[in-house]
Amino acid sequence: MYDIIVIGGGPAGLTAALYALRANKSVLVLEKAAFGGQITYSPKVENIPGQAAISGNDFSAALVDQVIELGAELEPAEVTAVRDGGESKTVVTEDGEYTAKAVIIATGAKHRRLGLQNEENLVGRGISFCAVCDGAFYQGKTVGVVGGGNSALQEAILLSELAEKVIIVQNLEYLTGERRLQDFVAQKANIELMLGWVVKEYKGESELEGIVAESISGEKREIPLDGLFVAIGLEPQNSAFENVMALDGYGYAVSDESCVTKTAGIFVAGDCRTKKIRQVTTAAADGAVAALAACDYIDGR
């Protein structure tokens, strides 16, 4: 029986573990992929307080080392279900079951990929999902943005202040983002629209060199690019937990800044919950809030 089981080993989950450990709680962290989360794909991170610049991998490694030093147990395992037993919670994985007094769900939200060959290898090597995080690397260069919704248009507008040229590639013949954002895009002389085009191929083996796109009429174009920002939505990883926490229409856990769920003793933190801003700092903040709430729950406060 652990005091707290944390599901998800990204910044939210690891920060939750850190705060729980400092409160003298026993903690198990379960992660189905790589400990550290999606930030490990970022070659350079410049928006973490106290760090002028650090690679996402180095940041994650330091956070992992910190929680291990404090006594956390880390296990690679995919969680398939959580059962509420009142004073105890059962976390079911493909390899077995664990019990705890409280559970913190911090499974994050995965950026949707295009599903093209060599995509995973090029993430962090020209393919990015966050202009706020990585836009500065493309000062004076040519970049592409895939998508036509609010997120894609916001990315393109931000990038237009940094890059020499921004090309928006949208599979529909029209943009789907808010009219206000479309108007901003129309005012930017260095933003080019490719409406009715689909990215079919990435060029480059170890680093992105460009894309091959195809129009709805069958025309193909090879477009050299220094970087490509994929903004076609997020996929929260919450389907296994809908019995213990309410989900909104997009699959995000319904919770506010308190990080509580509909089930006593089960908390949620980070990008997998309903929130406006999804950044490493807000994920870490959620982790702290959820951990302290879980400690209060265990201690009966």
Q: Is 130 a known active-site residue?
A: yes
Q: CB–CB of 93/68 below 8 Å? A: no
How far, in Å, CA of 101 to CA of 3, rounded? 5
- 33 HSE (CA, 13 A, CB side): 13
Residue 84 appears among annotated catalytic residues: no
Query: What is the C-alpha separation between 93 and 82, in angstroms, rounded?
Result: 9
Q: Given 65, 84, 134, 299, which residue is catalytic? A: 134
Cα gap 187→203, rounded to integer Å: 30
Catalytic annotation present for 133 = yes
Whether residue 90 contacts residue 83, with contact meaning beta carbons closer than 8 Å, is answered with yes
Pick the catalytic residue from 3, 84, 133, 299: 133
Q: Which of 130, 259, 272, 295 is catalytic?
A: 130
For residue 275, what are the contacts with CB-CB under 8 A and spacing of at least 6? Answer: 282, 286
Catalytic residue numbers read 130, 133-134
